[in-house]
Structure 1
Amino acid sequence: MTALQPLPDPIRLAVDCMGGDHGPSVTLPACQAFLAQHPQAELILVGRAEALAAARAWPRCHVVEATEVVEMDDSIEVALRKKRDSSMRVAIQQLRPKEPQALLAHACVSAGNTGALWAVAKFVLKTLEGVDRPAIAAVMPNRRGRFTTVLDLGANVDSTAENLLQFAFMGSALVAAVEGIEEPSVGLLNIGEEAIKGSETIKRAGELLREASAAGQLNFHGNVEGNDIYKGTTDLVVCDGFVGNVMLKTSEGLAGMMGDFIKDEFSRNGLTKLAALVAMPVLKRFKRRVDPRRFNGAALLGLRGLVFKSHGSADAVAFENALARAYDAARNRLLDRVQDRIVATLQAAGNTSPVATAE
């Protein structure tokens, strides 16, 4: 596969400034911080005119007005059919230069309603040829001091074996683009490492992944279990959206509980508070290693444009990290990498690969 050179600056991101639990009170400070750290980047800020008035004078920024906002509890139908001038939709439209008043962004970032974002993005951008179902991918910290990328995290709750194969190709492209690992190792999430374990769908997916690996199309490690995500056994872990979303929410809950436990123990009495002062440098480093804000920014893979989802409750630090992940993905041509992997697979299989199966 031909090596792709990074896109030249400036990389332009479209930002839904109204989305999420906090809207402009978080997104605008995050955008300022991002611009300070990325002097060659440009932003397209999308939202209501009054909310973005202060940003009109910012350098390397363009303001695009939108009169509506997709609320966190809005249904997909409302977002698609009744709020056609929402900041979410207008921001996504900036990825399509043929759209009226579009400025051509390289990626879009929103903290809005996940279901609505997914539906609007798929409606506006459509899926890449050869991709049946797009997937949501995010990173988790591991013991190796790096990240494990996991997908799907909730876009599809009833994936087929062929879908899981597609997720592996798209996820591999993501890791190659953002982490710089050209042939990332792929694990299939299962209840055991043995090939005979799991549901019929998982066993069939394992067969397809082994065939693709034997053909040199990806680097399949084999089945992995949930704890392998945090061990860093593989660079990428593939699962269906139901399992992935439960795993993600469970992990977030566990991390929060562990943090509370540590705080409680160090707050018990004067002696433990003194111990906390002594241990403060260690605690700060620990907190940073598990801080979920560092891992904010999930990629919506398989679309004809790069869309990144920030956590709805993200603060300015977390949203800035989502912007940075979108910037890195765009600069390293994630969209082209996903397309190239899918096309190469179809060509190698004579256009009869399961990857080409239509939904």
Structure 2
Amino acid sequence: MSLPRIAVDAMGGDEGVRVMVEGAALARRRHDRFKFLLVGDETRIKAALDNHPNLRGASEILHSTDVISGEDKPSQALRRAKTTSMGMAVNAVKAGDAGAAVSGGNTGALMAISKLALRTMPGIDRPALAALLPTLGDNDVVMLDLGANTECDARNLIQFAIMGSAYSRVVTGRDSPRVRLLNIGTEDMKGTDELRDAATILRKAAADLSMSFDGFTEADKVCRGDVDVVVTDGFSGNIALKAIEGTARFVGDLLRRSFSSSLRSKFGFLVSRPATELLKHHLDPNNHNGAVFLGLNGIVVKSHGSANAVGVANAVHVTARLLEENVTERITADLARVGEESLKMKRAPASAATTGDAA
């Protein structure tokens, strides 16, 4: 049985066509059953494919020279969805010409276009942006929402937990991922009414959802390795993500400054180089690239705009895994197990859902 092809917005990302095509070529070595739809300037794409014959034979080009910039507002992007490389890649998923789309372009624009074109799945009120973060354990941690919805009610958080758990089962291989809600403390009485209500329902439903739920976690525990899925609203999630990324850069910069401060420090660097290289690899965002818009009727993956070819390849790898493991069907099955009765609670106002930027 042939797998659906992956649409790649070849014009997205800081480096554009060269890096997006190289990343897709790297990913195809790992997923050689997939074919690709490369969307962008045909002349530039063909030139880039000359260096990657393995991808050239498995690709079709959809021509577009119109590109959504990082400064374009979501409303502007929506008006040009039919002509831009990003919009055409997502619309290929809507039309059934591709099973998933990957873009390194403007996050807010990608979310707006994807939500309008694909709509949310039955039983999901709002899509969420989920990403993998490195930990001290053997597993990466799935964190969502990272910026798509600034305010969420308990119903939204429960849906995020269901989607995040299904995604985690794909990427970690755990039958029962450890799920926690991000809070200011781990005690049951801590946090907002929304968090406490969501925790109460998730404790009752966890056994039916193939997840291990035990309440709350704090921001300093996110990357310890003792949790597989961290659930929060997009406002808190985006702040936490950027704080984690900023701390990683701070540690890296501090190490570089320390090792270059004196001759003795430089000698110490040579001695400890294997350890520092391992640290660098672990903290490199390219090795954890690929944020997913969960909850849509189709798969859309956001690659970091500054990702190199390895980073793009990882984003395509995430996309391929989601298609191979039928993550959308898993989410649908889990929602059915919970049942609508368990989720009958007041929804947050529609105006509270805003498209953010987690890039």
TM-score normalized with structure 2 length: 0.91
Q: Letter of the 2:321 partner, please give it.
A: D
Q: Distance in 2 between matches of 1:61 and 1:174?
A: 27
Q: Distance in 1 between matches of 2:279 and 2:32?
A: 30
* Shift in alpha-carbon separation, 1:263–1:355, aligned structure 2, 3 A: farther
Report SS of the residue matched to 1:51: helix
Q: Which residue of 2 aligns with 1:122?
A: 115
Q: Which residue of 2 aligns with 1:279?
A: 272
Which of 340, 343, 348 is equivalent to 1:354? 343
Q: Distance in 1 between matches of 2:115 and 2:101?
A: 13
Residue identity over aligned pairs, in percent, reads 37
Q: Letter of the 2:141 partner, please give it.
A: T
User: How far 1:356 moved relative to its partner?
Assistant: 8.7
Which of 202, 205, 208 is equivalent to 1:209? 202
Q: Distance in 1 between matches of 2:211 and 2:303?
A: 28
Offset from partner CA, 1:270-303 (integer Å, 9 cap, x none): 2211221121111111111221111110110000
- After the TM superposition, which residues 250-265 of structure 1 pair with which residues of structure 2 at under 5 Å, given as runs? 250-265=243-258
Q: Are residue 337 (structure 1) and residue 330 (structure 2) matched?
A: yes
Q: Letter of the 2:189 partner, please give it.
A: I
Q: Which residue of 1 aligns with 2:238?
A: 245
Q: Is the 8 A contact 2:181 2:216 kept in 1?
A: yes
Q: Which residue of 1 aligns with 2:353?
A: none
Which of 47, 62, 65 is equivalent to 1:64? 62
Q: Are residue 196 (structure 1) and residue 189 (structure 2) matched?
A: yes
Indicate the larger mover: 59-68 or 290-299: 59-68
Report SS of the residue matched to 2:223: helix
Q: Are residue 186 (structure 1) and residue 175 (structure 2) matched?
A: no
Q: Is the 8 A contact 2:201 2:342 kept in 1?
A: no
- After the TM superposition, which residues 155-166 of structure 1 pair with which residues of structure 2 at under 5 Å, given as runs? 155-166=148-159
Q: Distance in 1 between matches of 2:268 and 2:247?
A: 24
Q: Distance in 1 between matches of 2:28 and 2:199?
A: 43
* Shift in alpha-carbon separation, 1:355–1:26, aligned structure 2, 3 A: farther
Q: Are residue 79 (structure 1) and residue 77 (structure 2) matched?
A: yes
Q: Are residue 231 (structure 1) and residue 238 (structure 2) matched?
A: no
User: How far 1:217 moved relative to its partner?
Assistant: 6.3
Q: Distance in 1 between matches of 2:344 and 2:59?
A: 39
Report SS of the residue matched to 1:138: strand
Which of 137, 141, 146 is equivalent to 2:134? 141
Q: Unaligned 5+ residue runs, structure 2?
A: 351-359
Report SS of the residue matched to 1:353: helix
Report SS of the residue matched to 2:138: coil
Report SS of the residue matched to 2:71: coil
Q: Is the 8 A contact 1:127 1:304 kept in 2?
A: yes
Q: Which residue of 2 aligns with 1:294?
A: 287
Q: Is the 8 A contact 1:30 1:317 kept in 2?
A: yes
Offset from partner CA, 1:214-259 (integer Å, 9 cap, x none): 6566431211111221112221110000000000011111100100
Q: Which residue of 2 aligns with 1:176?
A: 169
Q: Which residue of 2 aligns with 1:319?
A: 312
Indicate the larger mover: 32-41 or 60-69: 32-41
Q: Distance in 1 between matches of 2:37 and 2:329?
A: 22
Q: Distance in 1 between matches of 2:2 and 2:209?
A: 33
Which of 82, 100, 104 is equivalent to 1:111? 104
Indicate the larger mover: 104-113 or 34-43: 34-43
Report SS of the residue matched to 1:132: coil
Q: Distance in 2 between matches of 1:50 and 1:222?
A: 53
* Shift in alpha-carbon separation, 1:230–1:217, aligned structure 2, 3 A: closer
Q: Which residue of 2 aligns with 1:26?
A: 19
Offset from partner CA, 1:196-218 (integer Å, 9 cap, x none): 01112212222222232265664
Aligned length: 343
Q: Distance in 2 between matches of 1:80 and 1:250?
A: 30
TM-score normalized with structure 1 length: 0.91
Q: Which residue of 1 aligns with 2:357?
A: none
Q: Unaligned 5+ residue runs, structure 1?
A: 1-7
Indicate the larger mover: 31-40 or 316-325: 31-40
* Shift in alpha-carbon separation, 1:357–1:86, aligned structure 2, 3 A: farther
Q: Letter of the 2:77 partner, please give it.
A: A
Q: Is the 8 A contact 1:130 1:357 kept in 2?
A: no
Q: Is the 8 A contact 1:130 1:356 kept in 2?
A: no
